[in-house]
């Protein structure tokens, strides 16, 4: 059964990677892969009951992420529909593309630590879409947003789902991870940023024409929706900390509030409904295909986890590689191909806290590598998948343009963390 699962996953991955040449939508390939892998697993495991129970467990986690993505994308679309991001765009009037790239990257880096890398990627790609006219320039900025958002999420306990897993599991603490991973994560972003900024030096920003003639009512609606939408996104970690409920419920709760208040504002001001004026219409504009792709990938990888393939891989690395720093580096590289969530989950099960106490080298380095390694491939992180769907980024385009830069940043940040640890001990 295991060889069939691995071979099927590889074939589906190749189909996703070659979406352009094959003319097969990546979402369809991912969903077919999930269906095939679970079918093989159910028939090969010999227990339909066990397979159903495990599918139910995986579905819960997948659905939570999908609902969170749906809520975040809807909020961002609603803000964008009311031109709310004009507040940020008005402060990003760089004349050169290099200057804009630097500003966008630093905003994404710090915003990701406060929100999370997925939400940050959605917000920043939307802003870039309203700032830059040339598609090639938007793609370059989107690529840097993915790297910056993942780097920013790695040094915050709420910035990346894997870091949050380690934080909740007791493997890392807030103060330690922020203080020890900030500099390596910053280096992870600065290395590719320097290369991209140098490449586009001297090029002007070709902007999109801004709408004019907003009346006071429209300006009030824009500012109110922007403030409320941002408040909802910022309050999700607080909601989780207070209630201990999953983040998807917080984002949906906030979306409901935004929906109701938005309708009340429009009714008060007597606006006629336009094609993008309500939350219901904002939902219609969301790229559902991107969400389906995310669901398919997570369910497909879950079969490898339940079949023990990921755990076996971790044991193999432990037996044949031996050095913990190299093992974690490999885990980070694998997270660009295989979702980092099950990889970190496997590591948490493989290495007990009794042998590796909280804030030890293993867990902090795992947080860095799993959080930033996904930037090497566009489908290696939630931020990459969101940007891929929003800007229709081709897998092979990202592989040529950004994979080498992301790999250099990944290795540079890892080296900084190791050297930093030697100097501080």
Higher pLDDT, 397 or 271: 397
In a domain, 149, yes or no: yes
From the CB of residue 368, how many other CB atoms can be counted at a distance below 10 Å? Answer: 27
CA dist 314 and 331 (Å) reads: 8
CA distance 14 to 337: 11
Q: What is the pLDDT of residues 358-368, one digit of tens each?
A: 888 889 999 99
Segment 56-83 shows an average pLDDT of: 80
Q: What is the band of 203 on the pLDDT scale with cuts at 50, 70, 90?
A: confident
Residue 276 pLDDT grade (very low, low, confident, very high; cuts 50, 70, 90)? very low
- Is the model more confident about 345 or about 155? 155
| Residue 386 near residue 290 (C-beta atoms within 8 A) | yes
User: 36 lies in a domain?
Assistant: no
CA distances from 221 to 63, 73, 227 (A): 32, 19, 10
Contacts of 217 (CB under 8 A, 6+ apart): 269, 270, 271
Residue 274 has pLDDT above 70, yes or no: no
Please compute the mean of the pLDDT values over residues 415-424 and round it to a whole number: 86
> Cα 105–106–110 angle (5° rounding)?
120
Consecutive H or E run containing 31:
helix 26-45
User: 295: which residues sit within 8 A by CB, 6+ positions away?
Assistant: 30, 31, 34, 62, 66
Mean pLDDT, rounded, of the chain: 81
CA dist., res. 404 & res. 410, Å (int):
10
For residue 277, the model assigns a pLDDT of: 53
30 is a domain residue: no
The larger pLDDT score, comparing residue 406 to residue 111, is at: 406
Residue 89's domain comprises: 58-424
On whether residue 71 sits in a domain, the answer given is yes
Answer yes or no: is pLDDT of 208 > 70: no
Mean pLDDT of the region 302-329: 81
In a domain, 39, yes or no: no
For residue range 131-186, what is the model confidence (pLDDT) as tens digits?
887 888 889 999 999 999 999 999 988 788 788 778 877 788 878 888 999 999 99
Tally the domains of the chain: 1
pLDDT of 36: 92
Whether residue 389 is contained in a domain is answered as yes
The answer to whether residue 40 is domain-embedded is no
- How far is the C-alpha of 39 from the C-alpha of 387, rounded, in Å? 31
Domain-embedded: residue 21: no
Across 72-79, average pLDDT: 79
Residue 364 sits at φ, ψ, to 5 deg, of -65, -40
Q: At what angle do helices 288-306 and 48-81 cross, to 10 degrees?
A: 150
Confidence of residue 275 (pLDDT cuts 50, 70, 90): very low
Q: Angle 388-391-394 (CA atoms, 0-180°, nearest 5)?
A: 55
């Amino acid at each position: 059964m295991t060889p069939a699962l691995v071979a099927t996953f590889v074939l589906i991955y190749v189909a996703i990677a070659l979406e352009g040449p094959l003319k097969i939508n990546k979402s369809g390939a991912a969903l077919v892969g999930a269906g095939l892998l679970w079918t093989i697993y159910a028939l090969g495991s010999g227990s339909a009951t066990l397979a159903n129970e495990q599918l139910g467990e995986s579905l819960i986690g997948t659905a939570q992420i999908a609902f969170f993505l749906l809520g975040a994308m809807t909020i961002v679309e609603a803000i964008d529909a009311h031109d709310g991001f004009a507040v940020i765009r008005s402060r990003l009037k760089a004349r050169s593309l290099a200057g804009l790239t630097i500003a966008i990257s630093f905003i994404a880096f710090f915003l990701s630590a406060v929100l999370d890398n997925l939400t940050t990627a959605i917000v920043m790609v939307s802003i870039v879409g309203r700032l830059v006219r040339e598609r090639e320039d938007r793609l370059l900025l989107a690529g840097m947003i993915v790297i910056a958002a993942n780097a920013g999420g790695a040094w915050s306990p709420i910035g990346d789902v894997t870091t949050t897993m380690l934080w909740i599991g007791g493997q890392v603490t807030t103060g330690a991870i922020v203080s020890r991973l900030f500099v390596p994560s910053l280096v992870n972003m600065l290395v590719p940023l320097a290369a991209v900024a140098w490449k586009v030096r001297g090029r002007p920003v070709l902007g999109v024409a801004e709408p004019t003639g907003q009346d006071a009512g429209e300006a009030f609606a824009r500012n109110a929706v922007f403030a409320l939408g941002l408040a909802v996104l910022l309050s999700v970690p607080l909601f989780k900390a207070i209630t201990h409920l999953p983040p998807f419920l917080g984002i949906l709760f906030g979306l409901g509030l935004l929906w109701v208040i938005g309708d009340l504002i429009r009714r008060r001001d007597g606006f006629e409904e336009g094609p993008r004026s309500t939350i219901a219409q904002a939902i219609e504009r969301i790229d559902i295909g991107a969400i389906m792709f995310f669901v398919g990938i997570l369910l497909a990888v879950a079969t490898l986890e339940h079949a023990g393939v990921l755990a076996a891989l971790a044991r193999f690395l432990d037996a044949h590689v031996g050095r913990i720093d190299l093992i974690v580096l490999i885990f980070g590289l694998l997270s660009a191909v295989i979702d980092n969530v099950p990889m970190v989950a496997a590591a948490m099960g493989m290495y007990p806290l009794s042998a590796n106490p909280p804030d030890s080298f293993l867990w902090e380095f795992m947080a860095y590598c799993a959080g930033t390694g996904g930037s090497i491939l566009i489908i290696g992180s939630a931020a990459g998948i969101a940007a891929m769907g929003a800007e229709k980024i081709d897998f092979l385009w990202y592989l040529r343009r950004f994979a080498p830069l992301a790999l250099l940043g990944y290795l540079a940040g890892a080296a900084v963390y190791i050297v930093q640890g030697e100097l501080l001990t």
